[in-house]
Amino acid sequence: MAALASLEEIWPGQLPEAERLIFVQLTEERQILALERLRAVMDVENGCEAAADLMARLSLGRSQVYKLLQDWRSSRSLASLVPHAGPSKIRASRLNERVIQLVRQVVREHVGRQSPESETTVIRDVQARAAQEDLPVPADATLRRLIAIWTLNDPKLSLSPLSRGQKGALRPSEATTEDDETKELLFPDVFGGRLLVDHTTPDLIVATNAPFKPTASFVVDDASRLILAHRLIDRIPEPEDFLTILAFASDGYRRLRSKGILAVHGLHPVLTMRNGLSAQWNQLRAVAQRSRFKFDIRRAPQPVFGHVLRRSMIREIGGIALLPGLTKEEPVCRLRNNDVRTPRVSWPDAMLMLDNAVMEHNRQRLRVVSMEALSGTARNSNLRLNTERRDWLEFGLAEFRDAWASH
């Protein structure tokens, strides 16, 4: 708190909320560095010190000092004063350039097919061709990361939902039954065709007497990867958390509709989530049936967290890494030895950081997602639609909202 008070005292004018969030995420040593450099650049701006004098004061070379001042003047942000204080950037791949070209070629081939194979098939194809051409054979994890980056940032290379491990088809006009979860569904590659409901662990540490890593809940539209709803909780997800986040998605969809992003009328969305077998899940499943969504609901003795997002290649949101493997553990048990130096933030700041990350994620998605996917004129424009041409996404989410309100 003392360091933050010092920042507010030094900062020219009122401290912006975005800069406060950058500061609280720094380690104590880097906060001290940020304050030292901010004092120095302000002294230069106020005419109290010459730029050349900062070389000795900050232990920097001449070119470093002038670069620091230039960056500060252009951005007026702590991110320009402290290395790596801004949002994390995607690192350039260290793969052989010929291998990268091969991967891009194979992905293009699979994207163009009527019935694209799974992501794993794409990876095996790349590895086999690399071996045939005497190129270094990249590991599975390396290829998955590369494909994830491309599918989120280049709509021309985006694999359809079918190619992420889903096969077969169930016509949207067929009635939803309990048996649907054992059938193989068609996931329409248009906005509102499939909703992903999942919970995972963001790489944030909340400061309390017993620090913990929280759980983040999301509802994501699969075709666009737009986030309709998000929430931060301090426990392992329970059935009510699935219900709550789906209820919140009703407001998220309303906001998107105000921007002209709507589901295709007459299309019954597919609902994808992974829950448990016990009777406590029955109420959630009953609401899901009333919602008229199609089922892609897989049950297991214990619910699976983070898998749905990971399979849809969402591994970070707005610069916050997602750690799905930790989500089955109690939040206080999710910390690891390498978290010792990771900054702790307050619960309100953690929620605000997730809000900002989601806004940034959606902003980026709207820059790259094709309008065909948002308007329903993409690959599956010949969808078999229900004769009742109503907005079934709005209807279904309203069912969850009403169930949550009465719950």
Residues facing 220 on adjacent strands: 196, 227
CB atoms < 10 A from the CB of 136, how many?
Answer: 11
Angle between the N-to-C axes of helices 392-406 and 239-257, in degrees from 0 to 180, rounded to the nearest 10: 130
The arithmetic mean of pLDDT across residues 154-173, rounded, is: 46
User: Length of the chain in residues, anyone?
Assistant: 407
pLDDT at 215: 97
The top-scoring range by mean pLDDT among 12-16, 64-68, 69-73, 249-253 is 249-253
Residue 88 has pLDDT above 70, yes or no: no
Q: How far is residue 268's CA from residue 330's CA, in Å, rounded to a whole number? A: 36
- What does the pLDDT read at residue 385? 73
Q: Mind listing the pLDDT tens digit for each residue in 182-233? A: 444 567 778 998 999 999 999 999 999 999 999 999 999 988 889 999 999 9
Tell me which of 174 and 49 has the higher pLDDT: 49
Residue 91's CB is within 10 A of a number of other CB atoms, namely 8
Of residues 223 and 168, more confidence is placed in: 223
For residues 184 and 41, which has the higher predicted lDDT (pLDDT)? 41
* Range 78-82 contact pairs with CB under 8 angstroms and sequence separation of 24 or more: 78/19, 78/22, 78/23, 78/26, 78/34, 78/38, 79/22, 81/33, 81/34, 81/37, 81/38, 81/41, 82/26, 82/30, 82/33, 82/34, 82/37
Average pLDDT over residues 44-62: 89
- Whether 82 has a pLDDT exceeding 90, the answer reads no
382 SS3 class: coil
Instruction: Tell me the Ramachandran region of residue 106: left when phi exceeds 0, alpha when psi lies from -120 to 50, beta otherwise.
Output: alpha
The string of pLDDT tens digits covering residues 294-350 is 888 777 788 889 988 887 778 889 889 999 999 999 999 999 888 887 889 999 999
The pLDDT assigned to 175 comes to 36
Burial class of residue 4 in the structure, from the number of CB atoms within 10 Å of its CB (0-12 exposed, 13-18 middle, 19+ buried): middle
pLDDT at 177 over 50: no
Q: Is pLDDT larger for residue 2 or for residue 41?
A: 41
Could you give the CA distance from residue 149 to residue 145 in angstroms, rounded to a whole number?
6
pLDDT of residue 163: 43
- Ramachandran class of 28: left when φ > 0, alpha when ψ lies in -120 to 50, beta otherwise: alpha
pLDDT tens column, 383-397: 667 677 889 999 999
**Rounded to whole angstroms, how far apart are CA atoms 103 and 125?**
9
What's the confidence (pLDDT) of residue 357?
Answer: 94
Residue in 226, 218, 221, 225 with CA at minimum distance from that of residue 248: 218
> Where do we find the tokens 């004063």?
81
40 vs 46: CA distance, rounded Å: 10
Q: What's the DSSP call for residue 209?
A: S
Over the chain, what is the mean pLDDT? 83
